[in-house]
Amino acid sequence: MRQIAASIMCADQFHLADELRRLEAADIQLLHCDVMDGVYVNNLALGPEYLTALRAATSIPLDIHLATVTPLKYVDMFQVAKPEYMSFHVEAASDAMEVIRRIKSYNIKPSIALNPETPVEAIFPYLDHVNMVLMMTVNPGFAGQEFNKNVLTKIAILKEKIKDNPYAPLIEVDGNINGHTVGLMRDALPDVFVLGTSTLFHQNDTYDYTTRSLKIWSEID
């Protein structure tokens, strides 16, 4: 079953309570929460107090994406938000299995993320230990970047790798996800789609969030 994760960083922060109610009414399955340290990426976003308050304000589960160095430190810092998923970058972890074990110790589902230029084979040793793989289709840090079509091959390779695995992780994609780019993934379709400014928020139209979120499937149904 395909799922939508709304990138909460892209929401109207001055009217966040209203945004949450609209997302709940649209049956959005996850809130994708980017945590950025200004070191691993050239941006800062979403501290633990913010995400803890967010968790208390909505019934939608959190999907925390740690775009940080020293992921173990941030796992400990952000576990208080009680997310459903927490992802860290394979590129930033000196011992990915240690990070996975730490996430699991907090009863959080681990996810492993990789950047567009990272070979997909880098995460193969961890596929039996994570619940989700976050495939970045842009470089993490800023919204509005161009979708990297090279990631399409990586998704296809990953789908082939896990096709006979009964415990296969979900595949999540993040970065300029819209009707067109979802259509490009038709032959190797991921499971979770992170929607932000290019599809869901700040659009100059009269559609509600339900209509906007369903509109992207028109390219593949």
SS3 for 85?
A: strand
Rounded Cα–Cα distance for residues 78 and 87 (Å): 11
* Set 174, 187, 191, 221: catalytic member: 174
Count CB neighbours of 84 within 10 A: 17
Residue pair 91/68 in contact by the 8 Å Cβ criterion: no
Rounded Cα–Cα distance for residues 57 and 116 (Å): 33
Rounded Cα–Cα distance for residues 117 and 154 (Å): 10
**Active-site residue 12, yes or no?**
no
Residue with tokens 């809130």: 31
Strand (E) or helix (H) holding 107: none
Rounded Cα–Cα distance for residues 14 and 103 (Å): 31
Strand (E) or helix (H) holding 127: none
**Active-site residue 174, yes or no?**
yes
Rounded Cα–Cα distance for residues 75 and 139 (Å): 21
Strand (E) or helix (H) holding 4: strand 3-7
* Set 27, 34, 76, 187: catalytic member: 34
Secondary-structure breakdown of the chain: helix, strand, coil percentages, each rounded to the nearest 5: 40, 20, 40
Catalytic residues: 34, 174
